[in-house]
Amino acid sequence: MMRFERTSTSKSRRKTLGWIAVTLGAATLPGHPFAQINQTSNRVALVIGNSAYKGAPLKNPVNDANAVGASLNQLGFNVIQRENTTLRDLIEALREFSLRAEQSSVRVVFYAGHGIQAKGRNYLIPVDIDLQSEEELPTKSADVGELIDRLSAIKHGLNIVILDACRVNPFSAGVIAGPDGRRIRFRGVPTANGLAPVEAPMGTLLAFSTAPNGIALDNPGGKNSLYAKHLLANLNTPGMPIELLFKKVRIGVAEETQRVQVPWESSSLTADFCFKSDANGSCGR
DSSP class per residue in 25-75: HSPPPS--TTSPPPSSSSEEEEEEE----TTS--SSHHHHHHHHHHHHHHT
Instruction: CATH number of the domain at 203, please.
Output: 3.40.50.1460
Per-residue pLDDT of the chain (285 residues; tens, 9 = 90+): 344 333 343 443 443 344 344 344 333 333 334 444 555 559 999 999 999 998 788 899 999 999 999 999 999 999 999 999 999 999 899 889 988 999 999 999 999 999 888 888 899 999 998 887 778 889 999 999 999 998 999 999 999 999 998 666 666 554 444 443 444 333 334 446 678 889 999 999 999 998 888 878 777 788 999 999 999 999 999 999 999 999 999 999 999 989 989 999 999 999 999 999 998 888 865
146 part of a folded domain: yes
pLDDT at 262: 93
What does the chain come to in residues? 285
7 part of a folded domain: no
Domain that holds residue 94: 30-267
224 part of a folded domain: yes
285 part of a folded domain: no
272 part of a folded domain: no
pLDDT at 194: 77
Q: What is the pTM of this model?
A: 0.82
Quote the CA–CA distance of 28 and 34 in Å, as a whole number.
15
Nearest to 46 by CA among 83, 2, 86, 74: 83
Three-class secondary structure of residue 15 per DSSP: helix
Quote the CA–CA distance of 224 and 230 in Å, as a whole number.
9
255 part of a folded domain: yes
80 part of a folded domain: yes
276 part of a folded domain: no
Count of domains observed in the chain: 1
Quote the CA–CA distance of 70 and 36 in Å, as a whole number.
26
